[in-house]
């Protein structure tokens, strides 16, 4: 985005104290923040100093990284540190967590592993928060939800640490400041005494106020604590300037339909019958792409997102695009962070590892059963926890040398392990992953088949190259997928904390919540009363929370938005709109 210097933007560039920039999607908040960062860097930084840009999601970090490459000279880019809050707080904890009584060497407790520990713990009525803190102090395991609280405790208790980090970062940019939780906000507030703070906010995009510690009054807190220069860029739109996408989004937010069409917005209806609905979902891809291409001409388009309000809707969209075997699969990526999916993927990684010899195959089986039990523990609920207990009992029996009962789950799983022992993998990670998953799926036991289906959602080798390249490196070194689970966990941990390069090209399917911070050439909003209702939570009229979420989804689009709605039961939020 080219930067037009108006008096408002100039005041941001000239400010020497804290600044709060507010504005809607595409108003230029990120652009002016990067211009301010460039000015700070060009003024001269000492060795080891960088401008710190903090955002919530890896996708948002990727967006800022891409923008910085276009806006800042290459020689300056190394002086801009773009991180998620989690990665910044992890940096603090790794170095200084021992000051809180934890072991010097800390390890991540990834969300899916935490879920597997938490659900059975809470089912017994025990205090998980106390247990999580014990894991930190005694075992050095750090759950993601502890990052900000522990970093806050460190910064509160040590003026030296505050000075160290504020000196290291002469300016800190806080993206999506309206959604900061209490500990996150307090951390940057503590650092503001020694560094310049630039907060970017859009109150109409506050969709995480249901999370603990996230306050609808955060901008007020920022104003009271920092007394910053306030610059409002509301009304400016540089993301989709040649369309009326933002106007439609604002009318949806305010419930003020104008009763006429919007440039860059269309509507396609589907019938509730599953086959006809799925056919329309597939057709909608082509319609949205054609409309976006026409709007973007002479430039090409590279990305499209199909958004649902519930995970159930994401599954329906993905199945429709995958097809039923009679029609061609439409390649797409499903963005997930389900604990059971990641743990199921760990099971597939285990199956890719070299198998133990026949003489110790019961130990191999015990390990497989324990991994399966962890998947069901992570899902929670009485039925899943009962299944987890059965699998864990079978694992104990196998470890004790007891052969599994014929035709039981353990026997079926043992059969899959024997098949894998004789199987020769190719060394091509994607192909071998699919093959291991197929063998598990065909084992003939419902719980095991269920795990294989779960693992399909990872789309690990389509989302990016990190996992695939790590597996390829292991193969080249060992001629096998030695320690594949360790490799997978390391790649997932890196993805959770550090990844800023998630590829957003192609077709993506996700919830609207997960789309925040991302941009696409075209966006399809799926409005299905049964799986993806626009009024997605219990809320009375005028449905402000639901309207905020839909505005976020709409404003992800650069060139075109298509509302894909039930022909006979469209959402009440669309009443009065003529699209």
> How many Å apart are CA 467 and CA 499, to the nearest integer?
12
> How many Å apart are CA 440 and CA 340, to the nearest integer?
16
Last residue of a domain, one of 184, 208, 232: 232
Evaluate whether residue 493 is within a structural domain.
no
| Residue 311 banded pLDDT, cuts 50, 70, 90 | confident
Length of the chain counted residue by residue: 579
Domain co-membership, 293 together with 398: no
Q: Please name which of 276, 280, 302, 278 lies closest in space to residue 289, comparing C-alpha atoms.
A: 302
Evaluate whether residue 417 is within a structural domain.
yes
Domain co-membership, 354 together with 327: no
> How many Å apart are CA 82 and CA 59, to the nearest integer?
12
**What was the pLDDT predicted at 315?**
86
In the chain, DSSP finds a helix count (H) and a strand count (E) of 25, 14
Evaluate whether residue 569 is within a structural domain.
yes
Q: Which of 160-169, 175-184, 328-337 has the lowest mean pLDDT?
A: 328-337
The domain that contains 318 carries what CATH number? 3.40.50.300
Gap between the terminal Cα atoms of the chain? 29
Residue 296 · residue 559 · CB < 8 Å: yes
| Torsion angle, alpha carbons of 486, 489, 490, 496, to 10 | 180
Last residue of a domain, one of 456, 484, 512: 484
> How many Å apart are CA 441 and CA 531, to the nearest integer?
26
Q: What is the DSSP string of 281-308?
A: HHHHHHHHHHHHHHHHTTS---EEEEEE
Angle at 151 (CA atoms; ends 150, 152), nearest 5 degrees = 90
Domain co-membership, 200 together with 261: no
Residue 223 · residue 13 · CB < 8 Å: no
**What was the pLDDT predicted at 461?**
47
Reported pTM: 0.72
**What was the pLDDT predicted at 141?**
95
Evaluate whether residue 239 is within a structural domain.
no
Decide if pLDDT at 500 tops 50: no
Range of the structural domain that residue 345 is part of: 338-484
Last residue of a domain, one of 418, 452, 484: 484
**What was the pLDDT predicted at 107?**
93
The structural domain count of the chain equals 4
**What was the pLDDT predicted at 459?**
58
Please enumerate in sequence order all residues whose Cβ is within 8 A of that of 350, keeping only pairs 6 or more positions apart, or say none.
367, 368, 371, 484, 485
Evaluate whether residue 393 is within a structural domain.
yes
> Taking residues 141-163, what's their average pLDDT?
96
Evaluate whether residue 306 is within a structural domain.
yes
**What was the pLDDT predicted at 320?**
93
Evaluate whether residue 267 is within a structural domain.
yes
> Taking residues 263-268, what's their average pLDDT?
96
> How many Å apart are CA 65 and CA 137, to the nearest integer?
35
Domain co-membership, 391 together with 444: yes
Q: How many CB atoms lie within 10 A of CB 330?
A: 15
Question: CA 415: distance to chain centroid?
Answer: 36
Decide if pLDDT at 506 tops 70: yes
Domain co-membership, 367 together with 438: yes
């Amino acid at each position: 985005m080219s930067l037009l210097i108006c008096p408002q933007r100039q005041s941001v560039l000239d400010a020497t104290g804290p600044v709060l920039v507010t504005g809607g999607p595409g108003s230029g908040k990120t652009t002016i923040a990067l211009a301010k960062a460039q000015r700070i860097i060009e003024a001269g930084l000492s060795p080891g100093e960088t401008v710190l840009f903090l955002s919530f999601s890896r996708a948002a970090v990727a967006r800022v990284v891409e923008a910085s490459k276009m806006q800042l000279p290459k020689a300056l880019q190394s002086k801009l540190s773009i991180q998620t809050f989690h990665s910044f707080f992890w940096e603090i904890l790794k170095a200084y967590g021992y000051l809180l009584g934890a072991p010097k060497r800390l390890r991540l407790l990834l969300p899916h592993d935490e879920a597997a520990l938490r659900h059975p713990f809470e089912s017994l009525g025990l205090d998980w928060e106390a247990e999580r803190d014990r894991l930190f102090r005694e075992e050095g395991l750090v759950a993601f939800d502890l990052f900000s609280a522990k970093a806050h405790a460190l910064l509160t208790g040590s003026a030296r640490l505050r000075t160290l980090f504020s000196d290291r970062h002469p300016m800190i940019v806080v993206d999506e400041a309206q959604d900061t939780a209490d500990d996150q906000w307090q951390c940057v507030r503590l650092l503001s005494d020694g560094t310049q703070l630039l907060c970017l906010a859009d109150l109409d995009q506050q969709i995480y106020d249901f999370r603990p510690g996230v306050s609808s009054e955060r901008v007020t807190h920022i104003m009271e604590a920092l007394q910053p220069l306030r610059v409002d860029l509301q009304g400016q739109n540089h993301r989709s300037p040649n369309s009326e996408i933002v106007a439609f989004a604002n009318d949806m937010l305010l419930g003020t339909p104008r009763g006429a069409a919007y440039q860059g917005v269309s509507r396609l209806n589907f019938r509730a019958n599953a086959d006809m609905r799925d056919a329309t979902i597939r057709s909608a891809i082509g319609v949205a792409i054609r409309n976006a291409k026409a709007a973007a001409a002479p430039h090409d388009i590279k990305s499209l997102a199909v958004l649902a309000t519930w995970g159930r809707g994401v599954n329906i969209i993905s199945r429709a695009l995958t097809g039923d075997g009679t029609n061609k699969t439409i390649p797409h990526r499903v963005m997930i962070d389900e604990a059971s999916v990641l743990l199921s993927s760990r099971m597939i990684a285990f199956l890719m590892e070299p198998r133990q010899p026949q003489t110790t195959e019961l130990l191999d089986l015990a390990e497989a059963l324990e991994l399966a039990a962890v998947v069901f523990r992570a899902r929670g609920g009485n039925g899943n926890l009962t299944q987890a207990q059965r699998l864990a009992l079978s694992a104990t029996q196998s470890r004790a040398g007891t052969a599994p009962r014929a035709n039981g789950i353990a026997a079926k799983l043992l059969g899959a392990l024997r098949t894998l022992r004789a199987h020769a993998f190719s060394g091509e990670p994607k192909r071998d992953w699919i093959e291991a998953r197929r063998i598990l799926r065909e084992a003939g036991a419902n719980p095991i088949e269920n795990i294989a289906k779960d693992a399909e959602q990872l789309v690990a080798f389509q989302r990016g190259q990190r996992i695939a390249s790590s597996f390829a490196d292991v193969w080249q070194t060992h001629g096998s997928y030695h320690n594949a689970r360790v490799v997978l966990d390391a790649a997932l941990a890196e993805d959770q904390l550090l990844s800023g390069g998630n590829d957003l090209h192609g077709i993506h399917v996700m919830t609207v919540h997960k789309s925040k911070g991302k941009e696409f050439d075209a966006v399809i909003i799926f409005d299905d009363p049964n799986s993806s209702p626009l009024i997605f939570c219990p809320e009375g009229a005028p449905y402000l929370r639901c309207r905020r979420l839909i505005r976020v989804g709409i404003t992800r689009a650069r060139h075109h938005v298509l509302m894909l709605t039930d022909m006979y039961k469209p959402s009440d939020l669309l009443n009065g709109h003529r699209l």
